[in-house]
Amino acid sequence: MTDQPTADAIDDPDLVLGIMRFGTATDEQTAFTLLDAYLDAGGVWLDTADCYSYWADPEGRSGQSEAVLGRWLSARPGARDRIRIATKVGCVPVPRSVNPAGTEGLSAEVIEAGITGSLARMRTDHVDLYWAHRDDLAVPQEETVGSFLGLIADGRISRWGYSNAALWRFERARGIALSAGGTPPTAMQLRYSYLQPRPFVRDHIHDHRYGWVTDETLNYASCNPGTGIWAYSSLLNGAYDRSDKPINAAYDHPGNTRRLAVLERLAKELGLSRTELVIAWMSNSRPKVAPIAGVSTLEQLEEALRGSRLRLPEDVMAQLDEPW
Which range of 205-214, 240-249, 304-313 scores highest in mean pLDDT? It is 304-313
What is the predicted pLDDT for the residue at 206?
60
| pLDDT at residue 53 tops 70 | yes
| pLDDT at residue 60 tops 60 | yes
Q: Are residues 257 and 204 in contact, defined by beta-carbon separation less than 8 angstroms? A: no
| pLDDT at residue 131 tops 90 | yes
Q: Are residues 114 and 157 in contact, defined by beta-carbon separation less than 8 angstroms? A: no
Q: Which amino acid is at 115?
A: I
Give residue 9's pLDDT band: very low, low, confident or very high (50, 70, 90). Answer: very low
**197 DSSP assignment:** P
**Interatomic CA distance for residues 236 and 282, integer angstroms:** 14
Quickly count: other Cβ atoms within 10 Å of residue 29's Cβ.
8
Compute the mean pLDDT over every residue in the chain, rounded to the nearest whole number.
93
| pLDDT at residue 164 tops 70 | yes
The average pLDDT across 188-212 equals 83
| pLDDT at residue 203 tops 60 | no
Lowest mean pLDDT among 114-118, 237-241, 265-269: 237-241
At CB < 8 A and 24+ separation, what contacts does 309-318 make? 309/14, 310/272, 310/276, 310/279, 310/280, 310/283, 310/284, 311/280, 311/284, 312/280, 312/281, 312/284, 316/266, 316/270, 317/281, 317/284, 317/285
Q: At what angle do helices 64-75 and 28-40 cross, to 10 degrees?
A: 60
Q: Are residues 163 and 88 in contact, defined by beta-carbon separation less than 8 angstroms? A: yes
The average pLDDT across 95-113 equals 90
Q: At what angle do helices 314-321 and 254-270 cross, to 10 degrees?
A: 160
Cα dihedral: 172, 175, 176, 182 (round 10): 140
**Interatomic CA distance for residues 236 and 239, integer angstroms:** 5
R_g (Cα) of the chain, nearest Å: 19
Q: At what angle do helices 314-321 and 274-284 cross, to 10 degrees?
A: 100
Q: Are residues 34 and 301 in contact, defined by beta-carbon separation less than 8 angstroms? A: yes
203 versus 159: the higher-pLDDT residue is: 159
Give residue 271's pLDDT band: very low, low, confident or very high (50, 70, 90). Answer: very high
* Main-chain dihedrals φ then ψ at residue 230, nearest 5 degrees: -110, 140
What is the predicted pLDDT for the residue at 95?
87
What is the predicted pLDDT for the residue at 202?
63
Half-sphere exposure of 323 (CA within 13 A, CB side): 19
Give residue 320's pLDDT band: very low, low, confident or very high (50, 70, 90). Answer: very high
pLDDT in tens, 168-186: 999 999 999 999 999 999 9
* Main-chain dihedrals φ then ψ at residue 247, nearest 5 degrees: -70, 135
Q: Are residues 34 and 304 in contact, defined by beta-carbon separation less than 8 angstroms? A: no
Q: What percent of the chain has pLDDT over 90?
A: 84
What is the predicted pLDDT for the residue at 2?
35
Give residue 199's pLDDT band: very low, low, confident or very high (50, 70, 90). Answer: confident
**97 DSSP assignment:** T
| pLDDT at residue 16 tops 70 | yes
| pLDDT at residue 249 tops 50 | yes
Distance in angstroms between the alpha carbons of the first and the last residue of the chain: 44
Query: What residues does each domain of the chain span?
Result: 7-248+274-313
Write down the CATH number for the domain with range 7-248+274-313: 3.20.20.100
